[in-house]
Structures are given as structure tokens and as C-alpha cells.
Structure 1
Amino acid sequence: MSGVGAARRVRVVGMGMGPQHLTPEAVAALRSVDVVLAFEKSTHDPLLAARRAICTAYGLPLVVVEDARRDRREGLDEQGYAAAVTAWHEERAARWERALREHPGDVALLVWGDPGFYDSTLRLLDRLTRRLPLDVDVVPGVSSLSLLAARHRIVLHDVARPLHVTTGRRLPEALAQGQRNVAVMLNRRIELDGLGLEDWSIWWAANLGAAGEQAVAGRVGDVLPAIGAARERAAAVDGWVMDVYLVRAPDPVREEGA
């Protein structure tokens, strides 16, 4: 436990897609803390339920903090989107600060997937260090990209070729840059129509590690209806959909040799 006046120890622990993905290092980190903090995004938050199950398994108290609301209006330009995220992060950091002041001891934050992939936890803690002395360390977790590759039994890149990782919102930008092997995360919906990807290959999965896990692979022009149906099945089982996919352009060298 942190001493009086000392920097608060905060352990950012990657939890993969759920309790079954906790590494021995993650378990050791959890056993070293006094309390776990977690945001509650809604009255029915299945990701919070997974965190609660972990805390129950390791005998840790869970402090639930109501999440701040973010401006998610459609059509925000780049400047408006950045401003909305900044305001959201500032309010989230303020709520964490209040929770930390109210609950002494060493703290763990359980991060879905891996803290290094499209997660705001470390950025929020950077904001908090301006207000509170913190001693932060990070335990990596199993990422959705790793699970995507495992489920489809693929390597995420061809030999000596790059992998570009982006969001669904910025996929058109990546394609315009000439990217031909793109992993896409943070998808609220699948929007591939009109992007000229009909002949590309796709490896898609949703709710990896959950009861409603789904996976589809094939030619984009052939499997989009199957992906839509799989998303509905995942939502029916779990009540939510969190998906990730890889799209890859046809290899012109292989096509010429066919």
C-alpha cells in the first residue's frame, strides 16, 4: 500500500477479452493492489461485468465510476472530433481524480485488450499526473488483433510487407494513402460499400472471447451479408458488438502467376 504523501501506485492491467486472458503477470499485479477502479458506461455494461468477475475471483473491491458523456454526433469534422475527445478525456480524468482521493491504497485499472492499442487510459493518467503524484506501471494484455490472427490462423502481414492499423472512421484515408493491408478497429458499423474493396480479402471477427464470438473470412464482395448476419448473432447473445477485421488487397504478382 502507498504510504502517506507518497505517489499513488496505479497499475494499468491489460485483461484481454475477459478473465480467461489474464496472464500470470496480470494476476500478480492484481494481487498487489488494494482496489480496482472502473468506469460504468451505461446501466447495462457487459465490459464492467467482466471486470466485476475478475475482482470477485481475486477478492478485490471494485469502485465503479459513472463515465462522462462524449459528444458522438455524426458529421463532426476533424477539429470538432478532436475537441469532443479532449473534453471527454478532461471530464473522465476529473472523475478518476475524485475516486482516487476517496479510495486510498494501490489501484488497478483493468483495460480491455491491451493498454497500447486504441485505449485512452494512459492518456487520462498523463492528465491526472498534473494534479496528483502517481507512480504508473503497465501490464500488457492479449489484444483483439492477436486474437483475430489466432482465430483465422493467419499472419497479419505478408512476407516483408507492412501492416497498417487504423479505425473504421479513418479507413478511407488509409486507402487513399495506398495502404493495401489494413487492420481496422473501433467499428460502430461495417461500412465497406463504395470503397472499391470488392476483390480484397477480409478476415473479420466480433466479440472475441465472449459467448457470442463470431468470425467470417473471404472475398469482401461475397461475405458482407454474412458479416452483417454474424454481427446480429453476436449482439443477440452478448447484447453488444465489438469487432475487428483485416482487409488485404489482391497480390498482383500472385495473380499474374496464376
Structure 2
Amino acid sequence: MHWRALSMVVSVMCEVMRMGVGALQKQTAQRDADDCRSCLECSRDNGCVRCPERLFLFLQRDGMSHHGTCLLTCPPGHFEQKGKDINRCLKCRSLDCEHCFSRDFCTKCKAGFQLYKGKCLSRCPSGTFPHHTDCLDHCLVAPLGEWSEWSVCQREGATCGYKWGRQSRTRGTSDNQTTSFCPLQAETQRCRMRKRCTPPKKGGKRKKGLGLKRERKRLRMLTLAAKGLSTNQTIAGGARLRRQ
């Protein structure tokens, strides 16, 4: 009786173990089938290896290996990188980053952190203030002053000689606390120029070398005139001597 009861217990335990192994194998097979459903290529040990064109391959550590899944969008803490052969989900470098545009540029931070210029900070830096989940510059909300007068219309450093040029004007903040570190706003516009440059008036500055050339020409003409007068006087005097 004792041996018979023991054999029955052992047989029941073996049956339970077989049922458990079968259920585990069935669950594993079902998981593999679910994981490989959206794959172009699938491995029994590593899941998806290659995904369709519009899906992203997400590798998740599973013990000592990685298990791949094809997803429509990447999970939090990862960003989408499209490649020539395959699209991947890559991890953000910062652990405080919930969504990122690239490995080092966050677009949304986890709770308790503020976003400032792609970084997740525990508190906003100087010159900024917290606004919802971001740090905003004081310059963005500071009141603006009046525009300055338009500058002289010019092109390539000249104020005439062209049909069209450019002119600009600027304005800063009207708050004395932000004027010292807030940059000036500037805008430019197209403007009409004087196509002809007005020559300098008489008595004004002349181009260098122009007066010297004219003076040399005047002296040359006087010299030629003097030579011509001397020749004529010599000829006239000889004629009088022959008559006498």
C-alpha cells in the first residue's frame, strides 16, 4: 500500500510538471508569434531583426541578450532615427528626459524637471523663470521700447549710385532691469537710393590729382604760346633789315 500511494503521488507530480512545461511552451510560442507579427525578419531568441519601412525597431534588454520589437512610435525616453536600411528607437542620453529630438536634445522632461534649451534642469538658471514645464527668458516677456529712426539707405557702403538699397532700425526693452542683458531687436527694409551721385560744388574738395593735371596743361599752353611769339618776332625783324 505504501509503495502504491507513493507511485501515485509521483505520477501526479510528473503530470503537473508536464502540464506546466506545456503551458510555458505555449505561452512562449504565443509571445513569439505576437512579437514576430509585425516583423519582416524574426529570430526565436532575439525577436524582431528587421521591420517594415514605416515601423521602428526597439531593442529591449532581456537578461544577457536583446529582444527586438517593431513599433509605430518609440516609447518614452527614446527618439526615432530613420536610416537607409532600418529605422531604430535610440535612447535619450539624459535619464531625466521623457522625450528627445536627438540623443542630447530633450523636448520634454520628466516630472520635477524644467526644460531649458534642450536640457532638463532641477531649477531654472539666472535670467529665466519657470513656466509650466519650461524655463523662459525674461527677455521674451519684457516690455519693448520704441523703434529707433531708420538708418541711411545704403548699399555696399555707398549712399548713391544704385537704384535700391537697405536700411535698418532697432529697439530694446523698456524695462531697466532687462535692458543690460536683453539683445536688441532689429529689422531691415528695402529702400530707394539716389541713382546719380551729386558732384562736389565749386570750392569744395576735388579729386586728388585733377587740379595738378589742369595746372600742367595750362603751363604747357603758355610755354607753347611764348615760343610761337618769339619766332614771329624774329621773322619780322629779319624782314625789316632786308627792306633797308
Output the TM-score relative to the length of structure 1: 0.17
Greater relative contact order: 1 or 2 (C-alpha under 8 angstroms, separation 6 or more)? 1
The structure with the greater share of residues assigned to helix is: 1
Larger Rg computed on CA atoms: 2
